Structure 1
Amino acid sequence: MTHSDNTAPSAFNSTNLPALPPASTEHQSRLYSTLNIPLFWGDYTNLDSATELELDFEMERELTNHEHDSTRSINNERWAFQHDNKWAHFLYIFQLLSSGFIPMFFLTTLTVELKANIILSGSIIAFMALGNLSAFMMTRPLYHISFMLLTGVVTAATLIWKQQTLWGFWQGHSFFITGCVLFFLAVIGCELLLFLHAYFYQHDGSQFNRRTGMVHLAGKRWRKPFVAPFYEFDPVMQVQVMPHGQRDYVLWLYHRYTDKKVCLANRIHSLGLDQNNLRAFWDTLQRYMDVSQPLPDLPVLEPCRQQDPVTAAYDQAQNRPPRYWRDMSERRFKQEVLPRLREQLRNASWPSGPGLIAAHTDPTLSVADYYRAQQARGIHATPQPQAFEHTHSQAAVE
């Protein structure tokens, strides 16, 4: 199966790769460092991660009525990174802490106003605050919001009763005022800011582009993005040792000729993948970028399969139903499709040698000459030939 004639010269086509210069010794050392397990190119198993497929299926069920929703992170042309911004994490942590502290402020006000036993009241306050924090993390938002609202109303009613007035009872009660402010921020303010953040900053511009074959990595602190062909990145499965001894695996891509690298965990793939699911995800990503292959058969890609010529021709030849995933019942998916895929992943034979990239590596080709040849083909990447003119070692890109 061949790629479409209108694909860019930089498009990744596993049947037609250019000659590539060998990687430096420093780069090889990075790939084989502690906790790193190098992965290999080519030899597709045509298996997808069961974990990712389950998430995709649930997501598509929510988006099924919005087939051309512009908020999708993936379509037939580009797979955008989820935006990983510390501001969003800060808002969530603030909301989490507020949910625990709000009852403490309200109940402390009651303790002072009613002159209750400090030790007993303190124990009750701590218990109720932890309970509300647990409700925030483990139950529906309505439960912990109702609890916070109830403690606030009871505190306000007590102050009204003690002050014998509907107005001005908050004077001198800074704990009560603080609790009210935190309640507003936790229930409305943080949610609004998180919504605005997700709406305007869902993606940071980083993406895998199937049509052009280029990887775009957003620059930090107003730096220009790093752009290079997909086939210039080497995949590594990195072991993540968790606090309780579990092992998760995440996918890193190391650029072969510079010191640029990117972790795809929580930006392209989810956390908590085992080795088989991560290897399958790498297989999926390769097939997504390979214009000689149809798009991976994922629920989130089903609405745009007909927009990709290679995929459309493949689906027609295979007589694939255009709404295969969208018309599938949840029961069938969980009882038939997922168990079968998990069994296939357990029995899969994964690539164990350099394969595709090694077959196209020319040990006589310098990195500078390679990039000059790329530019002559109309492929303009961030690394420039002149950066490699007088060195055979790995060059850093600022």
Structure 2
Amino acid sequence: MKFYKGNRNWSDDYAFCRRTGMVMTSRGDFPFYEFDAYIEMRVGTQGSQFHSFKVIHRYPHRSPDPLTKNPLEFSFSVDGSIAQRYAAWDMLQRYMDVSQPLPDVPELEPFRHLDPTTKAYDEAGKRGRPATYWRDLYANSSEGELKMLREAQRAEVDSTTWGGRPDLMELSVPNYRETRKGEPEDVNDFGRFPWKAGKFVDRPEATPSGESPDHQQNDKYPR
């Protein structure tokens, strides 16, 4: 482990730190609000489309790769539709927003009591679930039941209207709103057929998350 940690050519360690609001990388530490998310589409030799969810540093001159000079960016493995990638970015933003409790997902359940905001939220009874909700669900459900719940969760994400949601990045980045005002109303349709612009919707002006009506929505189903 010591060898791999010390060998920068072999390791690619990074961390999104909720407590500090920083993204730790081998090229230095950078504020989370300096990163933008985008979906990259590639087309295969047979015309098949492949989409990747990526997060890139907005100021590449401050974080270039020492050898290739490429900008600092991260790729996330997300299965399914374009909407699933929007959901992944939404969850990462919620994770980094200390004014909100941690996303209510199985991976984070064992650590909810360690986060002050989440602990206060749960102790106030706002979570509305037992402390071991996800652990008990997995322990007491069959594979068939879990499969049905996952399919229902994916269907719910796919049917969610992702266009027209406020972008909290504009609260931290000067002039951010002037260049990022709209989103396609149907992100799945736009992802498959980008030449068909369809209907775009303007984002409402962002407010601090504590004032947002979309403050916290518990996930109903396993991911």
1:315 corresponds in structure 2 to 122
Which protein is bigger by CA-based radius of gyration? 1
Is 1:249–1:273's contact at 8 Å kept on the other side of the alignment? no
Cα–Cα, structure 1 residues 362 and 312, in superposed 2: closer, same or farther, change >3 Å?
Answer: same
Instruction: Return the alpha-carbon distance in structure 1 between the equivalents of residues 88 and 16 of structure 2.
Output: 14
Instruction: Return the alpha-carbon distance in structure 2 between the equivalents of residues 361 and 264 of structure 1.
Output: 20
Instruction: Return the alpha-carbon distance in structure 2 between the equivalents of residues 362 and 216 of structure 1.
Output: 23
Q: 2:144 aligns with which of 304, 325, 331?
A: 331
Matched, 1:292 2:105: no
1:231 corresponds in structure 2 to 33
Q: 1:264 aligns with which of 74, 78, 82?
A: 74
1:342 corresponds in structure 2 to 154
2:17 corresponds in structure 1 to 209
Q: CA RMSD in A?
A: 3.0
Q: Is there any run of 5+ residues in structure 1 with no aligned partner, and where?
A: 1-70, 72-195, 219-224, 364-398
Is 2:18–2:95's contact at 8 Å kept on the other side of the alignment? yes
Which structure is higher in RCO with an 8 Å CA cutoff and minimum separation 6? 1
Matches within 5 A, 1:86-235: 204-218=12-26, 225-235=27-37
2:55 corresponds in structure 1 to 253
TM-score, structure 2 as length reference: 0.60
Instruction: Return the alpha-carbon distance in structure 1 between the equivalents of residues 52 and 72 of structure 2.
Output: 11
Is 2:23–2:32's contact at 8 Å kept on the other side of the alignment? yes
Is 1:210–1:288's contact at 8 Å kept on the other side of the alignment? yes
Is 1:248–1:271's contact at 8 Å kept on the other side of the alignment? no
Is 1:240–1:248's contact at 8 Å kept on the other side of the alignment? yes
C-alpha offsets along residues 323-349 of structure 1, whole Å, 9 cap, x if unaligned?
2121112333222x2122122112111
Give, in angstroms, the shift of residue 272 of structure 1: 4.4
C-alpha offsets along residues 93-134 of structure 1, whole Å, 9 cap, x if unaligned?
xxxxxxxxxxxxxxxxxxxxxxxxxxxxxxxxxxxxxxxxxx
Matches within 5 A, 1:319-398: 319-328=128-137, 329=141, 330-335=143-148, 337-352=149-164, 355-362=167-174
TM-score, structure 1 as length reference: 0.35
1:264 alignment partner, SS class? strand
Q: Is there any run of 5+ residues in structure 2 with no aligned partner, and where?
A: 64-70, 176-223
